[in-house]
Amino acid sequence: MIIYPAIDIKDGKCVRLAQGKFNDVTVYSDNPVEMALKWERLGAQYLHVVDLDGARYGEPQNIAVISEMAVNLGIPVQVGGGIRTIETIEIVLCKGIERIILGTSAVKDPKLVKLALHNFENSIAISIDARDGMVAIEGWAKTSSFTAIGFAKKMEELGAKTIIYTDISKDGMLSGPNFKAMEEMVREVGVDIIASGGVRSIDDIKRLKDIGVAGVIIGKALYTGDIDLKEALEAAK
């Protein structure tokens, strides 16, 4: 199981939002590249990066700093936020990014997903962010008509190999993951599931591993010190 330290970027800074609310921001670093290098030094095998401005405005806004991250790191980076066209996917992948995350575009444009998966295969992950079991889009500002499980199955049919599943109500709250939802997703869908949202302790990581997720994204708990990255990596082995 892979542990993904999360770096959320807003206005070029490393931040965390509570439940995705843009008016509830905590800035943890003015230098996301330095933060990325810190997680690599502590043993991270993969980084999860979100361009929050990109998610909000529909096209990447922080690609320069994210590219600088990828160039300076010796580990792969997956990136999401505002990536909604094949042209943008190609541009971002050319910046040294290992994997692109499609969220809103996956809901609004299944043809894009099909083409992206055909052209780039394992370089594409689908992000499913759920509020009360329904898929949220556009930086979590709107809710779609899809259930999380139903949409995941649809993405599996299109050829997706990796799904990042976030429970919005848990994100940035240090209240523990939605284990029931994660377990259901792992049971119902035959692709790699990366769990995200609310992870607050080593016990949470161990429980998610037992459920069978392929990876765990950890954000706020790393920045507050509630979770030590080295301990998390050990628990994931």
pLDDT confidence band for 143 (50 / 70 / 90): confident
Amino acid type, 101:
I
Find all residues with CB under 8 Å of 207, minimum gap 6, and list them: 177, 179
Identify the three-state secondary structure at position 140.
Answer: coil
pLDDT confidence band for 5 (50 / 70 / 90): very high
Quote the domain boundaries for residue 6: 2-236
pLDDT of residue 19 exceeding 80: no
Please state whether the predicted TM-score (pTM) of the whole model is above 0.75.
Answer: yes
Task: Report the pLDDT value the prediction gives residue 140, as an integer from 0 to 100.
Answer: 64
pLDDT confidence band for 174 (50 / 70 / 90): low
Alpha carbons 99 and 93: distance in angstroms, whole number = 7
Alpha carbons 234 and 44: distance in angstroms, whole number = 11
Task: Report the pLDDT value the prediction gives residue 29, as an integer from 0 to 100.
Answer: 94
**What percent of the chain clears pLDDT 70, i.e. is strictly above it?**
96
DSSP at 74 = S
Alpha carbons 44 and 122: distance in angstroms, whole number = 20
CATH assignment at residue 182? 3.20.20.70
pLDDT in tens, 83-126: 999 999 999 999 999 999 998 888 889 999 999 999 998 999 99
Q: Which residues pair with 6 in a beta bridge?
A: 48
pLDDT of residue 171 exceeding 80: no
Residue 8 catalytic? Answer: yes
CB atoms within 10 A of CB 80: 26
Residue of 51, 129, 167, 204 marked catalytic? 129
200-to-65, 104, 178, 227, 228 alpha-carbon distances in Å: 28, 27, 12, 7, 10
Nearest to 62 by CA among 11, 133, 115: 11
Number of domains into which the chain is organized: 1
Residue 129 catalytic? Answer: yes
Task: Report the pLDDT value the prediction gives residue 205, as an integer from 0 to 100.
Answer: 97
Find all residues with CB under 8 Å of 182, minimum gap 6, and list them: 165, 193, 195, 208, 211, 213
Residue of 8, 51, 171, 204 marked catalytic? 8
